Structure 1
Amino acid sequence: MSAPPRSAHALVTGGGRGIGRAIASALAQSGVTVTLLGRDRATLEAAVAAGAAHFAAVADVADQAAVSAAIAQAAARQPIDILVANAGIAESAPFTKSDAALFHRMMDVNFMGVVHTVQAALPSMKGRPYGRIVAVASTAGLKGYAYVSAYSAAKHAVIGLVRSLALELASSNVTVNAVCPGFTETDLVAGSIDNIMSKTGRSKEQAIAELASHNPQKRLIQPSEVADTVLWLCGEGAGAITGQAIAVAGGEV
């Protein structure tokens, strides 16, 4: 597998924990300079101290002005070649109990967060000899799940954005792709497990088994498996891969 150029600078949103941290660590280990962007300074700085990244920038991806300022500051240190839009949140509710505020929360972070980060990073990226944009979507953006209509709608929107933007940038050196993990062993899924336990009375093992049952391999995906896919997409040899939504889900999709 070809690696990204060692001179590259990657910015990873939501990189302090879970899938984002695994992606940041994989990029850093490949020799890339990595900046994390997220809301929790202490979490980001802990990841930097652990060697998962080199720098941290604090911003809420739903806040366009804050994102623009943070990315401008990171780019001033070193131009950004790789953008991994990973930040996301998830909430579950039946559609009849999913109010407008829930839909706005899901769209503001999961979709507009991608829009904000790409709009801030893309102008300077387009003029460089190499560029990679990877959005972390979800299998929910490919097939949907019951009781997460707002989350699923936002992730479908991300994939639509990726496909359209890839066509706009096809004549440039920038590729645009999405990775779509199935249920992955992260803090986010831990919250889903707790929710299943509280609402159904099932044990933790039963709740995990319910989520894992969506995967034909009957297991949760590991963050490192998603990170390896992102690392491949960011490699110089993946220049012909663009506009794709790649499922990392054990054959679920």
Structure 2
Amino acid sequence: MMGDARPLAGRHALVTGGGRGIGAAIARQMLALGAAVTITGRDAGRLDKAAGDMAGLGRAQGIAVDVNDAQAIQSGFAQAAQTFGPIAVLVNNAGIAKAAPFAKTDLSLWNDILRTDLTGAFLCTQAALPDMLKAGWGRVVNVASTAGLTGMAYCAAYCAAKHGLIGMTRALAVELAAKPVTVNAVCPGYTETDIVEETIANIVAKTGRTRQDALAQLVAANPQQRLIKPEEVAEAVAWLCLPGSSAITGQSIAVAGGELM
């Protein structure tokens, strides 16, 4: 930040899936950098509580938006802009993760994951991008996963969605390379979130292993042998959003304790 403690002052950052976990950590980091922040999600009560908890850090609001609904995205983003001005930073964090053997991955599961994790980011980016181009400055950060950089058993739909998200990131970064808008992705490994807790519980229920053994299975590929903290992902996102990061675009940065090198 080089002497500027609030480098995003005057900017409006919108974080999808911002009511908890990684999204909430990113929202707090954006506020610390001086941005006004809108968090979106499907649970209005959770969003209101999260925004209230963040109020001491800066200007924050929660708006219920389902990233599966193109019309809801357009109206929700317009509502957000009425309060805090045009969106300058978009963090596509909303997503779901469900595991199943390939043979048991039915079309409904496949469509649910791709619609939320990939098409949702596409729709949100289309909604936010015109104002960034008009303003002459913007940052798009897609929260992907190490599953977007490698294959993982029992996660065909999730891997496909996250690989697609990284592909979209790279394609749009090339398309906008001559514009003052950067497009990047961060790829967390297993992170301390509700989704991972559900994964651990699922392993315990299906295998009879202890929680400690289930956790050990998840972090086995991480040389640091631990879960990633949401704040560590948020720090990476924040760096990509800084004015001084304008030369960083089209990148997919693993935040995974050395899981992928």
- Interval containing the TM-score (normalised by the shorter chain): over 0.9
Q: Structure 1: which amino acid aligns with 2:48?
A: E
8 Å Cα contact 1:134/1:178 also seen in 2:
yes
Match of 1:34 in 2: 37
RMSD: 1.1
Separation of aligned partners in 1, 2:54 and 2:190: 26
Q: CA deviation at 1:124?
A: 1.1
**Partner Cα distance (1:157, 1:218) in 2:** 28
2:60 to 48, 54, 71: 54
Contact 1:4 1:231 in 2 (8 A): no
Q: Could you tell which deviates more after superposition, 122-131 or 189-198?
A: 122-131
2:111 matched residue in structure 1:
104
Q: Which moved more, 1:82-91 or 1:126-135?
A: 126-135
Give unmatched runs, 5+ long, in structure 2. Answer: none
Runs of 4+ deviating beyond 2 Å: 1-5
Corresponding residue number in structure 1 for 2:89:
82
Give the letter for the 2:241 counterpart.
Answer: C
Per-residue deviation, 1:14: 0.1
The within-5 A match list for 1:204-215 is: 204-215=211-222
Deviations 1:141-187 (A, max 9, x none): 00021001101100000000000000111111100000000000100
The aligned residue for residue 173 of structure 2 is 166
Structure 1: which 5+ runs fail to align? none
Distance 2:151 2:44 in 1: 33
Equivalent residue, structure 1, for 2:69 = 63
Contact 1:16 1:38 in 2 (8 A): yes
| Aligned residue pairs, count | 253
Distance in 1 (CA, whole Å) between partners of 2:26 and 2:41 is 14
TM-score by length of 1: 0.98
Which one has more relative contact order, counting CA pairs under 8 Å at least 6 apart? 1
DSSP 3-state at the match of 2:140: strand
TM-score, normalization by structure 2: 0.95
Amino acid corresponding to residue 23 of structure 1 in structure 2: I
Deviation at 1:129? 2.9
Shift of 1:230: 0.4
Percent sequence identity over aligned pairs:
53
In the alignment, which residue of structure 1 is the partner of 2:11?
A: 8
Greater Cα shift, 2-11 or 149-158: 2-11
